[in-house]
Structure 1
Amino acid sequence: MTPAPTDTVSQNSGLPAYSEFVSNPDVAPPPPGRRWPFVLLIVMGALLVLAPIVTGMFPRAVKGEAMIDSFAPYVTQSSIDGYRSDLQVLEDARINVLALQSAGQQPGSYDRVEKFVRDYPGIRSDMSTMIDAIDANRGNYEKLAAAPSFGSLPWLLALPGTFLIAAGVFGFRRAQAGQRAVLWRAVAALAGLALIATPIVGQLFPAAPAAQPLIDGFRPILTHDEVRKMQGYFVTLVAADGELDSRYTGAVRTAHPDADLTGITALESRWQPMTSRFAALIGAMNDNVVNFEAVVALNDSTKRFGFAAFRGIGWCYIVPGISVLICAGISIPRQGGDSAHRTNAIGGESK
């Protein structure tokens, strides 16, 4: 007996025909998933990549990091106390010279010493202002120094942005083909979590309010004119000390062996470490004028949008990060749509 054809048997038994499983021209292709969330991921990724480029954040952040590192030895309580003590030693030496002049114990004229006596009140006032500005912003400096290195901040925007662009492009293609794009949704979610974690782990929120006071405090002292003025003061002090050491003290002792030279001798004993400290500070100021200008420019780069860059920097990570997580979740295809498609594929129904 010849066996009945498979399709005939299937029709008689009421079961689906084998041909319906392997080839059915009426089976609909998978419906495309939601694609617009992936478009948003591409847009957000592009913005994250472009933001540090447009604001000049890459070079400016590196200069800000260099400035923070450079000032580290000078923004400490012990360093500030040392500078104030040095200024007092200079003042004591000036008072000593005035006392000798008043007592008629200064033999002859000493132009460099007299210039020091005449100019030092202004020198001390300006140098005290500089040291006070550093001291007043010591807490702000410590908060900024505790944050992630400035040089890494633009990369912590651009790298997640690059991953979001890739996730958006490839996820869009998968969604268009009716696939769930699980991998690319996961990549986007990880990029979003990285954005959210950056200001929290890096303590950007407590550090952000410290930036503007630090900029305002350093603005009067970190200029080319101010540095040149400090360098001129340093020349005056070096010249006066040279004359005190080489001529003045010896002449006074010869003419008046009982003269009080306590303030002058204290200056001589402190001179070498004192000049080393002041020279280092003035050198650091000179080296960081350009770096400070870059930090100010970076902070001002967002003022057209109504906020200073450093004050809003934490939110520049948090807001995109949350938005990315929302988009990654929205892009999940509805389970009902998948079930209906599977039913149509198996049953051969197309509506």
Structure 2
Amino acid sequence: MTSPRSSASESSGLPAYSDFVSNREAPPPPPATRWPFVVLIVVGTLLVLAPIVTGMFPRAVKGEAMIDSFAPHVTQSRIEDYRTDLRVLDDARTNVIALRAAGQEQGRSGRVDQFVNDYPGIRSDMSEMVDAIDANRGNYEKLAGIPPFGDLPWLLALPGLVLIVAGAFGLRRAQAGNRALAWRSTAAVAALALIAVPLVGGLFPAAPAAQPLIDGFRPILTHDEVRKVQGYFVTLVAADGELNSTYTGAVRTAHPDADLTGITALESRWQPMTSRFAGLIGVMNDNIVNFDAVVALNDSTKPLGFTAFRGLGWFFLLPGVLALVAAASAIRSPSRPKPGGGSL
């Protein structure tokens, strides 16, 4: 049965109401904001490229190895041991000179003579070495307290990869008019992780300690300096061998009342002393390449007007804040209307 409204439409030549409702197309959805996802991709790409361009991956591992290997030699007790060892060597040399002055020395020994003649220079250089370590003990402790150096490039690159993926997939969803809530949330988590690294890891107070540490260790961590100290060690070993084998025996035989306090103190301390100095020299020798890698990493950002360690905390914080702002901006972007309301 034909309704009156249909009959009237047919008679008037106008489209029926039902035809108008069924044939009308819905208006296109408002475009979703895309620039935040582009920002996420750019920031993520920079975070991945930065440790690659600066050589941070291998250099940071070498820096971590250097920090770990110096740990036993940068304690207050070990520094005090080094200073006491040098005082014992001072007293042994003074003892030899006193025996000569008293005419109690029985013949001259070339090795003991070399020790007496060379020790002032040896004492000066080794004191400067110990002083450099002692002066930077606080800087070393600050750097040792931050996240391991070898992890730092990964803490940049991995969030960077997450931002790239979130930005790329989020951009595709935005082009379809969707809000891409899951990808925006993923980007926000990566951004918060970047922000947390310098704040929780203490990079801002600790990283500036790297420059004075580098400056303090630069004179002593060279091949020439290590070879020179190794030569000193040879001189000391030869002199001790002579003192212990024939020198003191000859003096005691000729002068039973001779004062040999300084020389005997050296003999009683010799084994732990040589172990400590040999360990220190070995660590210095093993870490020359590692130290050079740390210096190269620190200098890698000089073309930008600052050294890498001075800006280390900002390398995490600024990209993290920028990525978080971009993710939050995308959250506020318009969404594509869906039947029955809601969006993805």
* TM-score, normalising length: structure 2: 0.92
Q: CA deviation at 1:233?
A: 0.2
Gap change, CA 1:208 and 1:24, over 3 Å in 2: farther
Equivalent-residue separation in structure 1 for 2:188 and 2:109 (angstroms): 75
Aligned to 2:246: 247
Equivalent-residue separation in structure 1 for 2:187 and 2:18 (angstroms): 43
Aligned to 1:94: 93
Whether the 8 Å contact between 2:31 and 2:177 is mirrored in structure 1 is yes
Q: CA deviation at 1:287?
A: 0.5
Aligned to 2:152: 153
Q: Which amino acid aligns with 1:165?
A: I
Aligned to 1:318: 317
Gap change, CA 1:24 and 1:216, over 3 Å in 2: farther
Equivalent-residue separation in structure 2 for 1:152 and 1:314 (angstroms): 14
Q: CA deviation at 1:40?
A: 1.2
Q: Which amino acid aligns with 2:120?
A: P
Equivalent-residue separation in structure 2 for 1:334 and 1:290 (angstroms): 51
Equivalent-residue separation in structure 2 for 1:307 and 1:333 (angstroms): 36
**Matched residue of 1:308: which SS?**
coil
**Matched residue of 2:185: which SS?**
helix
Whether the 8 Å contact between 2:179 and 2:333 is mirrored in structure 1 is no
Q: CA deviation at 1:25?
A: 6.1
Q: CA deviation at 1:28?
A: 3.5
Aligned to 1:234: 233
Matches within 5 A, 1:111-150: 111-150=110-149
Deviations 1:115-174 (A, max 9, x none): 000000100100000000000000100000001100010000000000000011000000
Deviations 1:204-245 (A, max 9, x none): 001011110000000000101000000000000000000001
Deviations 1:90-126 (A, max 9, x none): 0100000000011111111100001000000100100
Matches within 5 A, 1:292-331: 292-331=291-330
**Matched residue of 1:73: which SS?**
helix
Gap change, CA 1:100 and 1:185, over 3 Å in 2: same
Gap change, CA 1:314 and 1:242, over 3 Å in 2: same
Q: Which amino acid aligns with 2:202?
A: Q
Q: CA deviation at 1:199?
A: 0.1
Whether the 8 Å contact between 2:34 and 2:171 is mirrored in structure 1 is yes
Equivalent-residue separation in structure 2 for 1:189 and 1:3 (angstroms): 61
Aligned to 2:105: 106
Aligned to 2:14: none
Q: CA deviation at 1:301?
A: 0.3
Gap change, CA 1:333 and 1:263, over 3 Å in 2: closer
* TM-score, normalising length: structure 1: 0.90
Q: CA deviation at 1:247?
A: 0.8
Whether the 8 Å contact between 2:33 and 2:330 is mirrored in structure 1 is yes
Equivalent-residue separation in structure 1 for 2:168 and 2:332 (angstroms): 17
**Matched residue of 1:114: which SS?**
helix
Would you say how many aligned residue pairs link Structure 1 and Structure 2? 332
Deviations 1:285-307 (A, max 9, x none): 00000000000000000010001
After superposition, the CA RMSD in angstroms is 2.2
**Matched residue of 2:310: which SS?**
helix
**Matched residue of 2:288: which SS?**
helix
Q: Which amino acid aligns with 2:59?
A: R
Aligned to 1:204: 203
Equivalent-residue separation in structure 1 for 2:93 and 2:19 (angstroms): 109
Q: CA deviation at 1:30?
A: 2.9
Correspondence 1:65 to 2:42: no
Equivalent-residue separation in structure 1 for 2:119 and 2:132 (angstroms): 20
Correspondence 1:218 to 2:217: yes
Whether the 8 Å contact between 1:41 and 1:167 is mirrored in structure 2 is yes
Whether the 8 Å contact between 2:166 and 2:183 is mirrored in structure 1 is yes
Equivalent-residue separation in structure 1 for 2:66 and 2:222 (angstroms): 14
Equivalent-residue separation in structure 1 for 2:18 and 2:88 (angstroms): 105
**Matched residue of 2:219: which SS?**
coil
Gap change, CA 1:74 and 1:19, over 3 Å in 2: farther
Q: Which amino acid aligns with 1:49?
A: V
Q: Which amino acid aligns with 1:292?
A: F
Equivalent-residue separation in structure 2 for 1:99 and 1:74 (angstroms): 34
After TM superposition, the structure 1 stretch with the greater mean CA deviation from structure 2, 35-44 or 155-164, is 35-44
Whether the 8 Å contact between 1:34 and 1:332 is mirrored in structure 2 is no
Deviations 1:65-112 (A, max 9, x none): 000000000111100000000000001000000000111111111000
Identity %: 72
Whether the 8 Å contact between 2:33 and 2:333 is mirrored in structure 1 is no
Whether the 8 Å contact between 1:30 and 1:177 is mirrored in structure 2 is no
**Matched residue of 2:309: which SS?**
helix
Equivalent-residue separation in structure 2 for 1:105 and 1:226 (angstroms): 37
Correspondence 1:272 to 2:271: yes
